[in-house]
Structure 1
Amino acid sequence: MGAIDKASAAERMLVSAILMRERGEDALAIHVVAASALNVLRDLIEKKGDDYVEQTLKVGAFTIATARRNGDEVKLPTNAVMDAVIEAVSQGIESGEVTQASDLTVTLSAGERRSLLNYIVKPYNFLKHADRDPLATLDDSDIDPDGAIAHALHAVTLVSPGKGLPDEIKPYLERHDLLAAIADSAGG
């Protein structure tokens, strides 16, 4: 049997989470498997000297601003603060100051960046830290398997840019309108 590296292990967990979702399995189990993959991928991204949340914010703001400038529909929820950021990025693109996501600067503290991922890691940590608070409970509304999967998909494209994903998950990607987004983040 061959050796499994961390990136491959994370990808296998992600694929398993997607296949579990396709079969209609338990949402908490799916969320935790996808969040586990994300945690491994975040560690690998950090080891390369990058920050997952920072990279995600840069790519997200640049992609949304570019799409809006091109008149494309953007199917992501935003708020007034995010809309202002996207407008500023759009103006930067128009002026030529911003030509790619890496031109952007994120000025959030480490704590603020961590808090942006709390909704993904909360169910994972709830189970992981059972020894610290065995009587704790988790609200069903904290479980978001599709959000955890989406983050893990994005993280895998940051760890392995240009690498295609297995065909077996394409139905999920198509159904959630993610094929083009994954191809764009993977570089093809």
Structure 2
Amino acid sequence: MSIKTLVKDHFSNSPISEHLEYFFPHNHENNISKPIFTDNKLNIRRFALKDLDECSVLFKQVFSSSPWYDEWVSLDQTKTYLNELVKNPVFDGFVICEASKVVGTCLGHSRSWWMGKEFFIDEFFVANDRQGEGMGTKLLDCVSEYLNKEGYTRLTLLTNKKIPAEKFYLKNGFYNNPQRTIMIRDL
């Protein structure tokens, strides 16, 4: 088999995103693994593909529990969902780690809105046993500071009403937009 055929076959059967670190080491993983915040207990950094498995487990644990009770059938289903977010060309994400273990995650994407560049948070979650300890607030504060330096003007997200998550976001400076509603059509 020729080199050309091997290379063509390789890239045809695996996503190019898996090769970013090899082709762009100066622009990809090196910047991602650099901490945004660190102290003697916590480390906040940008999400890396190596975090996908650990974040998938954490996501399933958090959203299968109270108050969400989502019915994620399998870890593969969860991983597929998060991987779809990660593959968005304008994706960015952040993790908060304690002793190298991911205990919280913020995943989203940028949007060029008429009011300026905004970051839409697709998923934000903290380990069930760590909620209420300030980790979510610390992660949100660091993400906000980082994105502000990158020229973002606001954060937006969706959450359910009348649950602790809504109170958490209100406490952290978010507000309900009375001019917006979520529209859903079942198929």
Task: Provide TM-score, normalisation by structure 1.
Answer: 0.30
Answer 1 or 2: which has greater strand percent. Answer: 2
Please identify the structure whose Cα radius of gyration is greater.
2
Task: Provide TM-score, normalisation by structure 2.
Answer: 0.31
Higher RCO (CA-CA < 8 Å; seq separation 6+)? 1
Answer 1 or 2: which has greater helix percent. Answer: 1
